[in-house]
Homo-oligomer: A and B are copies of this chain.
Amino acid sequence: MGMENGPSDPLKPPVPTLMAVARMAGVSPITVSRVVRRPDIVSSGTRLRVEDAIRKLGYVPNMVAGSLASARTKSVGVLVPTIANSIFADTVQGLSDVLEPLGFSVILAQSGYDHQREERMLAALLSRRPEAIIMVGAPVTAEGAEMLRRARIPVVETWELPAAPVDAAVGFDNHDAGVVVGRHFAKAGRRRLAFVGGDDRRATQRWHGFVEAAREAGLTEPRRVLIEWQSGAGAGAALLATAPDADAVFAANDAYAIGLLSALRRAGRLDVEPGTVPPIAVVGLGDLEMGRLFSPTVSTIRIDGAAIGRAAAELALDPTKPRRVDLGFELVLRESG
């Protein structure tokens, strides 16, 4: 039993403990602990001696033991669907930018949009006793929600604003975003709308808003094109196969939008005489920088993912802050529609 004690290689010294430092400096263990955590309350003489011993031994405090003793892990669990080429990377960045300077570590888990895996990952996170959980979306399973409630720590859901969050939420109204894009298409005279994206709850909320706006404008029911693999090219192919006659598409993110536009251009569906309206409009979501560089420049629902992350971190650390923050979104119209 016992962490890191006794040299794994008999030739090399063991990883030093606080006790070793104390012995070397000729003080009690608790004084070493104080030098590490509250140097201001230790006299400069002993502090110097202890710091010396720490340096000589290369002592690195064992936060596992510290956490157990103090009931503070200085860590935050973060659960995202995926981190690779995704709009959530900005949110994680934003989180870290707030958390790391305060000495908090980020324990990152990915659910891959899989319900069972989300539940497992939540359990895994909670077993490490983070001081808060920040996740994209609300927990999908009732089990998951219950676990979070029982953990008695701040829980911040992001990228959506559930009616009854476990604890707190930072995001925007996905349903509204769908409505705004749908209305925009209707006003622009588009008739055959399509929606390209996943089937997670946030996408579905946007879809519902989108449908609502289409109905309201007297349009036929929009087509919903489901994307399996997270790929822009895949989105393009799927749209052309499933809804080839659409004249306006709302894509779940800018990567899909760009993939779509690229496929449409290759298919000659973007050719347009100067001064006329392009035959198909595309609006993305996220305001990726690439969208501004692409040609046509990509219209999008702008969302500040980093700001969501920063706000979430603040709610996570301060339970007295308002538990619901709507950061809104903005329809940014560019060349693509």
- Listed in ascending order, the chain A residues whose CB lies under 8 Å from chain B are 1-5, 8-9, 12, 15, 58, 60-65, 67-71, 73, 75, 78, 82-86, 89-90, 92-93, 96, 100, 103, 105-110, 121, 123-129, 146-147, 150-152, 231-233, 255, 258-259, 261-262, 265, 288-290, 292-295, 306
Contacts and interface: CB of A to CB of B under 8 A. Distances in A.
Given A64-B128, A147-B58, A105 B106 contact: no
Nearest to A7: B152
Nearest to A127: B63
Given A86-B89, A147-B58, A233 B69 contact: no
Which 4 A-B pairs rank lowest in CB-CB distance, beginning with the nearest?
A3-B71, A84-B93, A262-B293, A63-B127
B128 A110 contact: no
How many copies of this chain sit in the oligomeric assembly?
Answer: 2
A172 to B, nearest CB: 19
B100 A121 contact: yes
Choose among A4, A64, A73, A103 the residue with the greatest number of B CB atoms under 10 Å from its CB: A64
A84 B306 CA distance: 9
Contact of A129 (B58, B62, B73, B96): B62
18 contacts: A8-B152, A9-B152, A62-B129, A63-B127, A64-B128, A75-B128, A83-B92, A83-B93, A83-B96, A84-B89, A84-B90, A86-B89, A92-B108, A96-B110, A105-B124, A107-B107, A233-B289, A259-B289
Nearest to A291: B290
A264 to B, nearest CB: 11
A63 B75 CA distance: 13
B108 A71 contact: no
